[in-house]
Amino acid sequence: MNILVIGAGPAGLVFASQLKLARPDWRIRMIEKQDPESVTGWGVVLPGRPGQHPANPLSYLDDADTLNPQFLEEFQFVHGDQSSRMPIGVLMCGVGRRGLVHALRAKCQSLGIEIRYGAAPTNVTDGVGGEFDLVVVANGVGHKHDGMAEALRPRLEYGGNRYIWYGTTRLFDQMNLIFRAHETGTFVAHAYRYADRMSTFIVECSAATHACAGLERMSERESATFISDVFQSTLRGHALLGQPAQGWRQFMTLSHETAAEGRLALLGDALQSGHFSIGHGTTMAVVEAQLLVKALCTEADLPAALANFNAHVLPLVQLFKSHADCSRLWFETIDERMHLNHAELAQHFDARRKALPPLPEALGRELGYALAR
């Protein structure tokens, strides 16, 4: 089989490397529109310890320890001048996104998979009907869907909040959720350590707060200074670091009713994006990639494989969307609960997704199925 993967991010890279290991005689080519060094983002959170948890992409690397993963077992909830800690319940692993992507790319190249940089099709169906038997679209929420069948066209929803992704040298030894009441409105920070000297610091606020603070008129440096002042007691003098063209934005939820059709399949954020507050985005990418590998390796032909993939992945991404939407809406309405005391707000936060079927169990079941091949 001859396969093209569009996008050299975690979803496409895990899929390509795992399929090449399972079917070394198949030809797999990858294209990535950015140059090799243009990897955005700071840290990401993954489940478990590398080598022990198959949903952690570090488990598929021979030298994961060189990325210096950070392990987090506690959650710290901060509201006003009060804070409390509680066990997460599972071991979490923080790692730099840039290092993770570079390591997964090196893994693919070591297996003989060609990655062509600075290349992007004007139409995602360019490879279909030509030399490729299957085109896997794994280039994130910004992928072009021109020429796609109607069933594979995404539904887009935009959240009400604005958010920005910073890095900082302030080290957080726990997963942190920090609520700050400011004269312009409420700001919420999601922070965790992902390297010896770096932490991720994601900040969100309502559109009204964003406008009242004048953030849309500020430069990137001015915005970082303003947010540093809002979270002065948390950052303790450490600066917030931005990345070019990664300013304030609305969270976009991309979703599909179908994951694969004809000779096209979708993976990762190109299939389903979900709010960062539930922390399962990269885990979803790994599970989806393994499900597609399983289908291609066990079914008699491509139509049967893609039908199998749809049957297993769609209920999972729909559950993921339900959890992510529920959590996103909770944060978008946080002003309604800022009057609560610390214990009440923490309890309300913990209960926000309790009515839904548990997502980790569903991920575990599907990943177990995918790896039994």
Domains and CATH numbers, the chain: 2-44+94-158+250-336+354-371 (3.50.50.60)
Q: What's the pLDDT at 119?
A: 83
DSSP 117-146: ES---SSTTTTBTTTBSEEEE-S-TT---T
Q: What's the pLDDT at 147?
A: 62
Q: What's the pLDDT at 128?
A: 55
Mean per-residue pLDDT of the chain: 94
Q: What's the pLDDT at 288?
A: 98
What residues of the chain score a pLDDT lower than 50? none
Which pTM does this prediction carry? Answer: 0.94
Task: Encode 80-106: b = buried (16+ Cβ within 10 Å), e = exposed.
Answer: eeebeeeeeeeebbbbbbbbbbebbbe
Q: What's the pLDDT at 145?
A: 56
Containing 325, the helix (H) or strand (E) segment is helix 302-332
CA distance 294 to 316: 16
Q: What's the pLDDT at 28?
A: 98
Strands 260-261 and 264-266: antiparallel
CA distance 128 to 123: 10
Q: What's the pLDDT at 143?
A: 62
Q: Which of 352, 326, 356 is nearest to 337 (CA)?
A: 352
Structure tokens at 359: 């997502």
Q: What's the pLDDT at 89?
A: 86
Q: Which residue type, as a one-letter code, is found at position 239?
A: A
Which contacts (CB < 8 Å, 24+ apart) does range 110-116 have? 111/17, 111/20, 111/21, 111/24, 112/20, 113/16, 113/17, 113/20, 113/28, 113/29, 113/30, 114/29, 114/30, 115/8, 115/30, 115/31, 115/32, 116/29, 116/30, 116/31, 116/32
Structure tokens at 273: 């994006």
